[in-house]
């Protein structure tokens, strides 16, 4: 790490070391993009990650090569209370992004899913509560806390499913939607979601959270279970069939990662206004798109048509989920600015590039 930057102390009595941003899950897809943004602005970052997800070691290498004096990679698990307490103790702001992220994995091992998502988050909250003056926390929750949305009446519109309710069709689903945890993943993330809000309410922690829709962009190593936009691009690039679960007319408001990073930094900087409140974050109605339409855009970018295979609907798969982001927009002025087609083009360009460590180092130096 570099010599610490200096800032004026709150009392105006002199200079003291600035505290680094802590990103838990900092080598993951979102975490590495967030760490890069903070470091490019001159901020120091501690990225805590267990490096267990395929591909994240490449992100860690990229961050270390790109910002050798500003980004420190801490290999550790969110369930390890001693490690979490140590890194939280020195943090100036915290972004908790680490999670078990797939519904399918939670169905196979609910105990592991709970230990990471629910108990791991509680470990982070307790470490923050132990600080005399806790730093701001932004936690990434999920739209799965709203469940399957079985009561949401949809119609089969031209480009995918759409809600019958004209207000929801115009604005999306807002934070007044009742919680309805579904699947072990929904339960574990929902428990974490509620703990974050309650620690803000009961203990006064400066904490907020995002109930996120689908996020995509560079540095995403998607799989069939999670990160589906990047997974689709990889399958088409490799000339392998793409499996769609359901009929492909499911609609999501996909959000480019740069826009999410803007939102995360804004929520942290505006914590006096955002604390104790959940926000639905996604691309909104302007970036609502069906699964099949995403594949059409990918095919157009790559100049080849994918081979499609269809499987049964997955548990808790929502036919329509689009975020109503107006609460966060009104409070902060944030907007999703990247159009879907442009974002997919940028993801395709990144995925076409070599992914060796040598290429990662060259990319970092560029």
Sorted by where each begins, the domain ranges of the chain are 18-365
179 in Cβ contact with 146 (< 8 Å): yes
What's the mean pLDDT in 138-153?
95
Whether residue 158 is predicted with pLDDT greater than 90 in this model: the reply is no
**Which position has the higher pLDDT, 159 or 115?**
115
What's the mean pLDDT in 255-275?
98
> Mapping DSSP to helix (H, G, I), strand (E, B) and coil, where does residue 271 land?
helix
* pLDDT band with cut points at 50, 70 and 90 for residue 364: very low
Whether residue 338 is predicted with pLDDT greater than 80 in this model: the reply is yes
What's the mean pLDDT in 297-310?
94
298 in Cβ contact with 308 (< 8 Å): no
| Rama region for 256: left / alpha / beta (φ>0; ψ in -120 to 50; rest) | beta
Whether residue 317 is predicted with pLDDT greater than 50 in this model: the reply is yes
Superfamily name and number for 18-365: NAD(P)-binding Rossmann-like Domain (3.40.50.720)
Proportion of the chain above pLDDT 70, given as a percent: 92
Specify the pLDDT at position 103: 86
Q: How far apart are CA 171 and CA 192, in angstroms?
A: 27
103 phi and psi, to 5 degrees?
-60, -45
Q: Which residue in this structure is represented by tokens 């989920």? A: 321
Whether residue 205 is predicted with pLDDT greater than 70 in this model: the reply is yes
What's the mean pLDDT in 150-169?
95
Q: How far apart are CA 252 and CA 243, in angstroms?
A: 17
Specify the pLDDT at position 355: 58
What's the mean pLDDT in 310-339?
95
Q: How far apart are CA 157 and CA 304, in angstroms?
A: 26
Average pLDDT, the chain: 91
Q: Which of 146, 161, 185, 199 is catalytic?
A: 185
Specify the pLDDT at position 222: 84
* pLDDT band with cut points at 50, 70 and 90 for residue 10: very low
Strands 93-96 and 137-142: parallel
pLDDT in tens, 12-29: 333 335 899 999 999 999
5 in Cβ contact with 18 (< 8 Å): yes
What's the mean pLDDT in 137-164?
95
Specify the pLDDT at position 102: 86
Helices (H), ranges, the chain: 29-40, 56-66, 81-89, 103-108, 110-114, 120-129, 166-171, 183-202, 228-237, 257-269, 271-274, 291-302, 326-332, 340-352, 357-365
CA dihedral for 50, 274, 190, 243, sign (positive or negative): negative
Whether residue 138 is predicted with pLDDT greater than 60 in this model: the reply is yes
* pLDDT band with cut points at 50, 70 and 90 for residue 101: confident
pLDDT in tens, 43-82: 999 999 999 988 899 999 999 999 999 999 999 999 999 9
Specify the pLDDT at position 361: 41
What's the mean pLDDT in 334-353?
96
Q: Angle formed by the axes of helices 183-202 and 120-129, to 10°? A: 10
Whether residue 161 is predicted with pLDDT greater than 80 in this model: the reply is yes
* pLDDT band with cut points at 50, 70 and 90 for residue 179: very high
Q: Is residue 320 flagged as an active site residue?
A: no
What's the mean pLDDT in 27-51?
97
Give per-residue burial for 24-46: e unless 16+ CB within 10 Å, then b: bbbbbbbbbbbbbbbbeeebbbb
Specify the pLDDT at position 25: 98
Whether residue 1 is predicted with pLDDT greater than 70 in this model: the reply is no
Whether residue 357 is predicted with pLDDT greater than 70 in this model: the reply is no
Whether residue 182 is predicted with pLDDT greater than 70 in this model: the reply is yes
């Amino acid at each position: 790490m570099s010599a610490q930057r200096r800032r004026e102390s709150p009392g105006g009595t002199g200079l003291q070391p600035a505290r680094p941003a802590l990103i838990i899950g900092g080598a993951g897809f979102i975490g590495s993009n967030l760490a890069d943004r903070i470091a490019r602005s001159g901020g120091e970052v501690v990225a805590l990650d267990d490096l267990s997800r395929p591909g994240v070691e490449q992100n860690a290498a990229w961050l270390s090569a790109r910002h050798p004096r500003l980004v420190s990679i801490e290999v550790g698990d969110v369930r390890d209370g001693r490690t979490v307490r140590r890194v939280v103790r020195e943090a100036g702001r915290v972004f908790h992004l680490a999670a078990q992220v797939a519904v399918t994995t939670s169905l196979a091992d609910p105990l592991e899913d709970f230990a990471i998502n629910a108990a791991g988050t509680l470990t982070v909250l307790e470490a923050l509560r132990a600080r005399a003056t806790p730093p701001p926390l932004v936690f990434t929750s999920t739209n799965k806390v709203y469940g399957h949305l079985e009561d949401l009446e949809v119609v089969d519109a031209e480009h995918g499913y759409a809600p019958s309710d004209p207000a929801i069709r115009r604005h999306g689903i807002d934070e007044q939607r009742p919680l309805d945890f579904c699947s072990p993943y929904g339960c574990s993330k929902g428990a974490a979601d509620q703990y974050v809000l309650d620690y803000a309410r009961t203990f006064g922690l400066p904490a907020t959270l995002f109930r996120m829709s689908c996020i995509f962009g560079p540095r995403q190593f998607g799989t069939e279970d999670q990160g589906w936009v990047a997974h689709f691009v990889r399958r088409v690039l490799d000339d392998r069939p793409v499996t769609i679960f359901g009929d492909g007319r499911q609609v999501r408001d996909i959000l480019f990662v740069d826009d999410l990073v803007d939102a995360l930094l804004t929520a942290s900087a505006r914590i006096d206004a955002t604390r104790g409140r959940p926000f639905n974050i996604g691309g909104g109605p302007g970036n609502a798109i069906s699964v099949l339409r995403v594949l059409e855009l990918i095919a157009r970018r790559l100049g080849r048509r994918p081979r499609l295979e269809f499987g049964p609907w997955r548990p808790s798969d929502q036919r329509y989920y689009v975020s109503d982001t107006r609460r966060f927009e009104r409070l902060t002025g944030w907007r999703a600015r990247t159009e879907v087609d442009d974002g997919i083009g940028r993801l395709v360009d990144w995925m076409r590039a070599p992914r060796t460590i040598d290429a990662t180092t060259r990319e970092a130096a560029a």
